[in-house]
Each structure stands twice: as structure tokens, then as C-alpha cells.
Chains A and B, each alone.
Chain A
Amino acid sequence: MLLHVRTLAASCAACHGTDGNSVGSSINNHATATQNDLSHINSLAAIDKTDFISKMQAFKLGQRPATVMHHHAKGLTNLEIEDLAEYFSRLPAHQAAVLQSQPLLKDHGH
């Protein structure tokens, strides 16, 4: 079970950050934000389990405004949503580091 949910949860990291801590969001933003912030994607770490489940179910049913989450939520089973809730609720929230870019090196291959 954990193995299964861990790789699934890790696939959310492309948008919600490693271990559910997303770049640019303040810690515990989901506790305070009722609407989605428009410039970043919310963290999932330390999210309240019930809150997570109700949001995911609402995405699944098309009852919560979404640009993309309905397409993800609809592909997941109810059990997976519950396991994800358990998993993310236990991950500690912290500020995600922003990766700084740098000039392209002269000898880069292509």
C-alpha cells in the first residue's frame, strides 16, 4: 500500500513540489486559502486529511473550480484518494527552495 501511494504521491511533485512542499507557496497555505492562489500551486504537505478528501472528491465530481485537477482526480480510486490523504497529512510542511538558474555555458554540447 505505502509503496503504491508513495510513487503516486511523488508524481504530484511536478506541480505540488517534492514531498508536497511547492515552490512559492507559504507553509500551510491550504489551511488558510479557501480559493486557489493564482500565482502558484498550493502545497499538500501537512494538509488536513478530511480537507484533502473533500477537495479531491469535489474535483472528481466537477464541483470545485479547477483548471487541471479534475483531470487528475477522476483517474484515481477512492481508496487511492484516502491513502494520499493519509500520506500527505503526515508529511512535514516547510518552505521549498527555489532553484536559481545560471547562464548557459559556452561549451554546452548542443
Chain B
Amino acid sequence: MVINRRDFVKLSGLGLGLGSLSLPAFARANKPPMGRVVVIGGGYAGACVAKYLRIWSMGSIEVVVVEASQQFVSCPLSNLVLGGSKSINDLSFSYDLLKTNHGIQWVHDQVTAIDVSTKKISMLRGELSYDRLVIAPGIDFIYDDLPMLASTEAQQQVPHAWKAGWQTVNLRKQLEAMPDGGVFVMNVPKAPYRCPPGPYERAAQVAYYLKNNKPKSKVIVLDANAEIISKKGLFSKVFNELYTGIVDYRPNNTIIDVNLKAKTVKTEFDSVYADVLNIIPSQRAGKVAQMAKLNNIDKRWCEVDFLSYESKLAPNVHVIGDAVSAALPKSAHMATNQAKVCASAIVQLMAGLAPDAMPVFANTCYSYVTDKAAIHVANVYRYDAVKKIMVSAEGGGVSASPSEQEGLYAKAWAQNIWADTLT
């Protein structure tokens, strides 16, 4: 196992230049490291916490990220690969700038065990000890109800494409190969799952492609939920008016069986034939969180303290991103928000100071309904000191209607969150 030599950070933004804005915890730039934080996972949450730990500790916390992938591939915008207006190569990025700009040590390896009592993690090729651990494991799929989909071969035929990458490319190829008049069947798993508006955006993107290329075809959406669970009015309108006769939306339709040979799926009501089948399984906190036994809520999600994202089960271990149990959308923006609250809290805690007692942050999820037009849902979330959870503040809401202007802003959002997370 190789750990890169530690680079010295270039202090940016709220660094030394802004003396009067400095906090006591910052005034340590020339002192020895305050300690080591190991971050497991380099997605939106993990990459972001690593960056902000380095910036806000002014380089005095040593940060080591452990990530199994060589590359960052963005889930946001990946539905546009299905619609045809983006390529997966537009959404794939190197970690190099993040590492070098902030002096983050990077270990390309897979975690095999976590010992919270000795504060050690084991990987395929070595071990690391930590003062604090941040687990940003993303999601893991649950195949208990649909075991026939668990294998790699089955997922060649029926991709989830719910982690952007080759499965996204595969699903796009299947859509391109589908004859006009074909049926694309997809599902929405029971909430909570990663990216609440995502499946509906996907249905719209597939419909956009079909409307322009194979207008006799259909998208059947089997929703395990009782209704569209995000931007309901907007998506209903898009399905009914923009994609009339193409999107066939069916609420309360849980998939209970899949016949891979016959290409049919069974719900409680029906058996549906699919030319192309896309099943997004139910989800839980990623494998690393399960390894540390932190997924205590419904055996799926991790309970945390919302002032620091420290696990309720293991001291000095923090969990951020989609794996967290919260009444918060599992979005990329939310993952970065949690990462920032967590980074800020860790810097304080390691300096023996208290974290912010009332965190507030803004969250937005954009969805594209054509190649150019988008809609949003936006809310400010605020810590409730009585309930000890994050609650949405007054004044949030959704777009009045889809617009190309919001399509441009959604693109700007993507470029800014990528730069904020990866440079």
C-alpha cells in the first residue's frame, strides 16, 4: 500500500488572508497535525468532506481517503445519457486536482474490516489507523426480494444503472437497439432511496428519446409508492402532456417477480412484458457501513447526530451522504452539505471546541424533463434543537413549470458542484 507524501495545502478562500474571520481552531497552521481523519468513499460526500477538512483545518488535519474506484462518475445528469444528450464521458472525472490542490492522501484500495475499538481499518493491501473516521459509503442494493437480479450476468440483461457507469452505458445501448413499438419497463423502489426525483426524471428522459426516435414505443413506470414522491404535479404534467401516450405511470405497483427468459415482470396485479427492463432495487447504507454495523435504522440506514454526523453507535466514527437515516432527500447537494457540517464539526472537535449548535443549509435537486428543459425542488433545512433533527424551513418549493432557463442553471449547478467537490 502506498500513501502519497503529504503535500502542503495552498490555503484558499477563508484562509490566513481573512484574519478577522478566523476561528480559534484555525490558528494552528504551523503546528504539527491535530490528528488523522480517514475517509472511506470518494463520492460527493467523501470527496467533499476531505476537501473541507483540509481547508477549514488550514492543513493541520491529515486526511487520507480510501476509495476503490480510480474515477469519480456523477450520478446527477446520468439520466441524460439515456435521453441521448450527454455521454458518460462528460460525467467522469479524475481525482487528481482534489488530491494535489488540498494535499489529501489517497489510497486506492478496498476496505475489508473496520475495528472501531482499536480505531483501525483493514484493506486488501494494508491497514490504517485513525483519530476520527468518516464513512461515506453511498448505497448498497437489496436483492432479498428479487434474488434473480443479484448476479453480474443478470445485471447485464437487467441493469439498475443507479450508480453511474457501465450499467448506464449498457441501458442506453439497449434502448437504442429496441425496435419502434417496443416497451421499456422500469420501476421506482419504495422510498427512501437515492435521489427521490431520479426515477421520474429517468422516465422522462427515456420518453424524450422515444418520442423523437421511436414514437410508437412506451415507457411503463411501476412505482412501489402510492404516488409520485417528488415534484409530483410537475412530473404528472410532463408525463400526461409532454409525453402523452408514451409514459404509462402505475402507482402502487411493487415488482414481486422477474422472469429473465420470458422478459416479464410480475406485480400483485399484472404480468408485464418488457423489451428493455430496468429495475432499481431497494437500497440501504453502503457495504462499509454494514461492515461497521452502523445501519441500525430498519437494518438499512445509519443513525447520526446532526450536529456532527457522528454515528449514534460508534464514537469517533461519522457517517455522511445517502447512508444516513434522515428526513432529508438523498441528493448529491445534500451529501455535500452533510460533508461540510461534518468537516466543520470535526475541525472543532479535534481542537477541543464545540461544533455549531444550529446548522442550516440549502438543498436543490434539478431534474431534466427534455434535453434542455429542467425543473427543481429547493429547500433550506435547519436544525431543530428540540427534535434534534434537520427540518425543512418555510419557503421551499418547486418550479412553476419546466423551462430551458432552468436547464441552463441545472448545467451550471452541475459544473459548480463538480468543481466544488473535485478541485
Contacts and interface: CB of A to CB of B under 8 A. Distances in A.
A60 B395 CA distance: 9
A70 interface: yes
Given A14-B333, A14-B416, A41-B416, A73 B361 contact: no
A17 B419 contact: yes
B299 to A, nearest CB: 23
A70 B398 CA distance: 10
Nearest to B26: A2
Contacts, number: 194
A92 to B, nearest CB: 7
B408 A38 contact: yes
B378 interface: yes
B149 to A, nearest CB: 14
B73 interface: yes
B143 interface: no
A75 B409 CA distance: 20
A34 interface: no
A10 B396 CA distance: 19
Interface string A1-30: 011101110111111111100111000000
A67 interface: yes
B350 interface: no
Interface stretch (B27-35, B229-237, B256-264, B351-359): B351-359
A14 B21 contact: no
A61 B41 CA distance: 41
Given A3-B356, A7-B344, A14-B336, A71 B52 contact: no
B16 interface: no
B155 to A, nearest CB: 9
Q: How large is the interface on B (under 10, 10 to 19, 20 to 34, 35 or more residues)?
A: 35 or more
B245 interface: no
Interface residues of A, number: 52
The dominant DSSP class at the A interface is loop
A40 B354 CA distance: 37
A104 B169 contact: yes
Contacts of B419: 17-18, 23, 96-99
Contacts of B394: 74-75
A105 B68 CA distance: 13
A11 B340 contact: yes
A22 B71 contact: no
Contacts of B341: 7
B413 A41 contact: yes
A101 interface: yes
A11 B363 contact: yes
Contacts of A92: 13, 17
Contact of B356 (A7, A40, A67): A7
B6 interface: no
Interface string B386-423: 00000011111101000101101100110111111011
A35 interface: no
Contacts of A13: 336, 416-417, 420
A90 B21 contact: yes
B89 A104 contact: yes
Interface string A86-99: 01001110001111
Nearest to B422: A99
B314 interface: no
A107 B166 CA distance: 9
B344 A15 contact: no
Contact of B166 (A6, A12, A108): A108
Q: Which 5 A-B pairs have the closest CB atoms?
A: A74-B395, A75-B380, A19-B13, A75-B393, A11-B361
